[in-house]
Amino acid sequence: MDALLSKLFSSEEEELYILNCMAYFMVFMAACTFVTLLFENVPYGRYATSKYGFPVNVRFAWFVQELPAFLLPLCLVIWTSCAKTSLLPNQLLIAMYFCHYVQRSLIYPFLIRGGKPTPFASFALAFVFCIYNGYMQIRYLSHYADYPADWVTHPCFIIGSVLWLAGWLVNVHSDHILRNLRKPGETGYKIPTGGMFQYVSGANFLGEITEWAGFALAGHSVQSASFALFTTVVLTSRAVAHHKWYLAKFDDYPKSRKALIPLLF
């Protein structure tokens, strides 16, 4: 892949400049997405409609759309000259990224039970995003990110890593709860309980937001920060929409439960 990258970029300085531009563009897209989501829910799952394209099988959609976020970074790590992968901070951050996307692309799709088809537009946008973000995160970490020798003992790295792990565990556990709400043969929606669902309607979203916020703190780069920001914008909107939906659908929905942040919001 080095030959391909050398054709795309005239120098490492140019590629780093592009990686920075990609991050700032993601911040811009987060702002645009924030405004859009004030008027429209993210169109998949219970909010899917035919106006966003023909339906795609939900398992197929999740597997294919998330796979580039795993495969492209894997190719970058294996088949490019990675100047920074011998350094411990970079190794740990790359491991955090892969830990999420191995689960999200190779495990999660095959655990889905039922689920509404995904509109093609949502599927296509997610596919493009995973290519874009996968390249931006891992190319930066594997070849350009330069940390002090003692960065792994810095409070930002330690706190960020703890947040990442806590968020990852909450996300995976919350997905497990959601998958097991229905018994075999049952259909329809139920009120999730247990874990962080005792406190918020969007426990799975809270977990993922926390995960990438921790990654951004530990990574200390505009690339990781822009990803965390974009994730927060999209998943906060989805958590709020879910919360309103639950309150409208279930008369016995816990009134003390918040949308995303326990006790606060």
Q: Which single residue is written with the structure tokens 């899917």?
A: 48
Answer yes or no: is 263 within a domain. no
Cβ atoms of residues 151 and 157 within 8 Å: yes
How crowded is the C-beta side of 75, counted as CA atoms within 13 Å? 12
SS3 85: coil
Size (the chain), residues: 265
Answer yes or no: is 230 within a domain. yes
pTM over 0.85: yes
175-228: pLDDT as tens digits:
999 999 987 777 778 999 999 999 999 999 999 999 999 999 999 999 999 999
Cβ atoms of residues 42 and 122 within 8 Å: yes
Phi, psi of 231 (to 5 degrees): -60, -45
> What is the total count of domains within the chain?
1
Answer yes or no: is 262 within a domain. no
Answer yes or no: is 265 within a domain. no
Partner residues linked to 200 by β-bridges = 258
Give pLDDT, residue 15: 97
3-state helix, strand, coil in the chain (%, to 5): 70, 0, 30
Residue 179's domain comprises: 2-249
Q: At what angle do helices 88-102 and 155-179 cross, to 10 degrees?
A: 10
C-alpha span between 17 and 124 (Å, rounded): 27
C-alpha span between 110 and 5 (Å, rounded): 34
Answer yes or no: is 49 within a domain. yes
Query: pLDDT (tens digit, 0 to 9) for every residue of the chain, 265 residues total?
Result: 889 999 999 999 999 999 999 999 999 999 999 999 998 887 777 777 778 899 999 999 999 999 999 999 999 999 998 999 999 999 999 999 999 999 999 999 999 987 789 999 999 999 999 999 999 999 999 999 999 989 999 999 999 999 999 999 999 999 999 999 987 777 778 999 999 999 999 999 999 999 999 999 999 999 999 999 999 999 999 999 999 999 999 999 999 999 999 999 9
Give pLDDT, residue 40: 86
Answer yes or no: is 255 within a domain. no
Answer yes or no: is 115 within a domain. yes
Give pLDDT, residue 232: 98
Answer yes or no: is 176 within a domain. yes
